[in-house]
A and B are shown apart, each in its own frame.
Chain A
Amino acid sequence: MKTRLWREPWLWTVTAFSLLLAVPVLLIFSSIFIPQKALWQHLIDTVLSDYVYHSLIIAFSVGALTLLVGTSLAWLVARYEFSGRGALQWLILLPMAMPAYILAYTYTGMLDVAGPLQTQLRAFFNWTYHDYWFPDVRSVGGAILMLSLVLYPYVYMLGRTAFSEQSASFYEASRSMGVSGFAYFCKVAFPLARPAILTGTALAMMEAFADYGTVQYFGISTFTTGIFRTFNGLGNAIGAAQLAAVLTSFVLVLLLIEKHSRRRLRYFHQGQKQQSVKRINLSPIKSFWAVVVCLIPVSLGFIVPCAQLIIWAAERATSQIDAQFVVLIWNSFYLAVSAALIAVSLALLFSYAKRLRSHWLLNSQVQLASLGYAIPGTVIAIGAMLMLSAADEAINALTEAWFDTSVGLIFSGTLVALLLAYSVRFLAVAMHNVEAGLQRIKPSMDDAARSMGLSSFSVLKKVHVPLLRASVLSALLLVFVDVLKELPATLILRPFNFNTLAVRTFELASEERLQDAAVPAITIVMVGLLPVILLTRALESTKHKSSSHA
């Protein structure tokens, strides 16, 4: 059935929004048409190989580690029953509330050459610095570890949902054919959950590519630090934009590989009629080891750094907490909530447009609009600033011509600028979740519902909403937490007299006042925890509902 696409309201709506979101990114990409030969010659001669090597090694190692940790934990929690599982399944999510740069500050404070541990060791054994070996936190390996510790929940969350939704009939069938245990995981469960797991891994890798706070603090030259250096040190904004364009192309390749790898994989969920697999009870000894395995990443990524932050914060709380601090919390919170609502609404619009009217033009627009995740916040902020300033200038020119008065800056320097930048940056996160959810709904279910005379809106309401609930909730949560932690774009675009927890943390930490920074840092974690807990509750109740349907 061929429809005339240009008559479709879907196309126009999606075009309007995707253009809005793509302009900042396109402004960056347009830089490649202005040759910067001397700059590139200099970069190639000196630092470029470091940028490429470090960015790639960090992103791929983080990908591998999060895949391993996230999938193992997801499988353990989804497949087995052991004491403590109920609490652990959401404890495992906690590191997500911890920004990587705060983890980096904390571990450096504890484990650095001048930190308490090494100082005690030297004093106790009467060593000098050169007498012993100690791993260096501030290294490429350290950065990989820090990033993996806070990013594995992406894989875990998507993987767990995918595993626990797998129908029992697969398991029965496999067992009747003699496939069970590890072979079942490799041959059936993992391939079925692969789209979700790869999505989580791709998200983690994109975060790793775009990370600035951690690598900058550790003194590792990557593309993101290079972008800043080219922009600030060399004063070359075009060159910086070109570096950003190269980084974005890396991620584009990553996305294509991910798409390609699941091209022939089109498994759809059988709906809710099927019984989920019963979890297997573990013996007490095995239970013990399961708890230990679950506790390692959550301890390293959350409990230990939180304890350290609390100790520091306790020393400085009185000097840091005042009426202004409450405003800070409120600013951070409502900004993150607004951004999450906007990003998820856009993601729903785009995914539905793609599902209902699949067309290369639509698909590529959607693809384009969700590129922002790969681009460091700073670069997006500058793109958004250029775009909104131009809009403001046009508006002022109009009002001056018509009413003989100028209205000043309406968009730039207001929250609109911030929300636009967040939408560009985090749409991909929301899209991935919503799409992963939609993919699990078989198109035949739509057809069946439509054949019974339901309008597409009713299909949405009666079939999709209940099935999508979990995916939409996780999309909201991820964007919320991401915005709460976001630093560079907030720093550049925020309005007068407007601060957030992340900005306050960064300012104190970059003044090397780690103890003072601990108070806002721990508050970010606390505010981020709230939705993590709410989400887990909601996911649980979704599950109960669906099992009672069965």
Chain B
Amino acid sequence: MKRFLKLVGLVSCISMSALAEAQELNVYSARKEALIKPLLDKFSASSGISVNLVTGKADALITRLKSEGKYSPADILITTDVGRLHRAKEQGLTQAIQTDEFKDLISPNYIDPDNNWIGFTLRARPMMVAPERVDIAQLTRIEDLADEQWRGRICVRSSSNIYNQSLVAAMIAQLGEEQTQSWLNAFVKNFARTPKGGDRDQIKAVVAGQCDVAIANTYYLAGMASDGDEATRDTASKVKVIWPNQQDRGAHVNISGAAITKYAPNPASAQKLVSFMLQEESQEWYAKTNHEYPLRSDVEQSVVLTTFGDFRAEDIDLSQVGELNRQAVVLMDKAGWK
């Protein structure tokens, strides 16, 4: 054991000093390996900067950053949700990114007012329904789902899920706490089953007839629609996307994005990665591979996404979504959303 410890110590010392000389970048990513590694490899190939990657849950990575303090090797934190970027910023773990070159390319909503985080891709969370069982005229706003006619007809995943937390946080920001709570109380009564499974499961349950409406992110449906398996494609073809609140505040959206860490040993490399992720090519790769909406207005979305139709997105300051996360969970608990 002792010998082993010594060896590990020695090896890490040596590798530390060896790494210091090469051009490199250390990435903490909440985005799963399969969805980030290919782009990072491209980045290495084009820039000559070697990238070290750890993936994990966003909160665990933030905790790790915090506990490592000023010795942290991490340069950049990538998350799939704005709330976590905001949380990292709140805890003083980030520094300002130079965002001038992106200001004309992407909407200011998707950049932190203090430049501490920036978005890479956009995700929308609309309603998906079984068209033969749902009168689409009755369902134009997410608020409608509190109506008694939807009793036992709604599928949605658990309130532990960050996408739902952000959805509710965004509602609090726009409707206020009281109105959101009363909507939640009625909405939860309309669930067809105890929340379980992921977004794809909700879509499948609609097709199987367990419920009539699901709330899910579009890229799950798009992924199913372009799956290698015919049965999965068939399932996807049986639901219809309804964009909520198009006449008022717009459909709920969230971003994936990144922050440069406060003690980044290689801040210049980190800045280069940010630029790379917002290049046309990278934005196209995401749009095609994971069916997320590109943040750059000059890059086209994937073909499957266009079949879901255009929509108006919420126009709110996303850092509020981060700030209100805690309150959202409290309200969901009170409403009994499991």
Contacts and interface: CB of A to CB of B under 8 A. Distances in A.
B13 A497 contact: no
B12 interface: yes
Given A393-B69, A496-B26, A233 B325 contact: yes
A231 B59 contact: yes
A138 B8 contact: no
Interface in A214-239: 216-219, 221, 225, 228-229, 231-235, 237
Given A108-B197, A385-B64, A515 B13 contact: no
Contact of B67 (A386, A407, A510): A386
B249 interface: no
Given A225-B160, A385-B63, A392 B71 contact: yes
Contact of A114 (B34, B56, B201): B201
A507 interface: yes
A531 B303 CA distance: 49
Contacts of A216: 160
B9 A410 contact: yes
B27 to A, nearest CB: 8
A235 B326 contact: yes
Contact of A219 (B4, B33, B195): B195
A497 B68 contact: no
Contacts of B329: 229, 233-234
Contacts of B42: none
Interface string A392-428: 1100100000000011111011111000000000000
Interface in B60-87: 60, 63-64, 67-69, 71-73, 87
B8 A119 contact: no
B199 A512 contact: yes
A222 to B, nearest CB: 12
Interface string B213-248: 000000010000000110000010000000000000
B124 interface: no
Contacts of A114: 201, 204-205, 207-208, 235
B233 to A, nearest CB: 14
B338 interface: yes
Contacts of B13: 407, 410
Interface in A495-550: 495-499, 503-504, 507-508, 510-512, 515
A232 B54 CA distance: 19
Contacts of A45: 334
Interface in A354-404: 378, 381-382, 385-386, 389, 392-393, 396
Chain A binding surface SS class: helix
B158 A219 contact: yes
B71 A409 contact: yes
Contacts of A130: 209
B8 A233 contact: no
A29 to B, nearest CB: 18
B298 to A, nearest CB: 29
A81 interface: no
B205 A113 contact: yes
B16 A46 contact: no
B272 interface: no
Interface in B302-338: 325-326, 329-330, 333-334, 336, 338
B220 A47 contact: no
Contacts of A381: 60
A217 B209 CA distance: 21
A515 B196 contact: no
A492 B56 contact: yes
B59 A219 contact: no
Nearest to B207: A114
Given A113-B210, A219-B338, A497-B52, A492 B5 contact: no
A218 B157 CA distance: 10
B198 A138 contact: no
Nearest to B9: A410
B197 A233 contact: no
B53 interface: yes
A83 to B, nearest CB: 42
Interface of B: 1, 4-5, 8-9, 12-13, 16, 26, 32-35, 52-57, 59-60, 63-64, 67-69, 71-73, 87, 157-160, 162, 165, 194-201, 204-205, 207-210, 220, 228-229, 235, 325-326, 329-330, 333-334, 336, 338
23 contacts: A108-B197, A114-B204, A114-B205, A114-B235, A118-B208, A217-B197, A219-B195, A219-B197, A221-B338, A234-B329, A234-B330, A235-B325, A378-B60, A407-B13, A412-B68, A414-B8, A416-B5, A416-B8, A507-B33, A510-B198, A511-B35, A512-B201, A515-B229
Given A129-B209, A392-B68, 15 more contacts: A42-B333, A114-B205, A138-B196, A225-B160, A232-B162, A234-B326, A235-B325, A392-B71, A414-B12, A496-B73, A507-B33, A507-B34, A511-B34, A511-B35, A512-B200
